[in-house]
Amino acid sequence: MAARVGSKHTNMFNREKITATVSYYDGVDAYGQDLKDISSTKEIKGAFGLISQGLTGDYRYIDATHYFLTTDNTVTDKCILTIDGHDYKVKYVSPHRRLNEVFLS
């Protein structure tokens, strides 16, 4: 019997949405830290979680520690998500039908 893939995640997404602030970065400062462009921020909704196992399948998101599921298509790897006062750099965005899986570090 085939399992319904994605239904558990879709239900969690509809029930437990949080707000994240998206800002873009342009360049680095003298210490090598990403500079946030505060003038181009916006808020998006999504589900946020911790990755419990290390991802080893692809170099693009091998050091990702968190994920964020969202329907927003404007999030790219040039973004920084601020969730509960913590900044997370977007490592990779993987589109899956109507949800985008965003890997963060």
Q: What is the pTM of this model?
A: 0.75
3-state SS, residue 10: helix
pLDDT (tens place) for every residue of the chain, 105 residues total: 333 344 455 555 556 788 899 988 877 888 887 777 777 789 999 989 888 776 667 777 788 899 999 999 999 988 999 999 999 999 999 887 888 999 998
Q: pLDDT value at position 6? A: 46
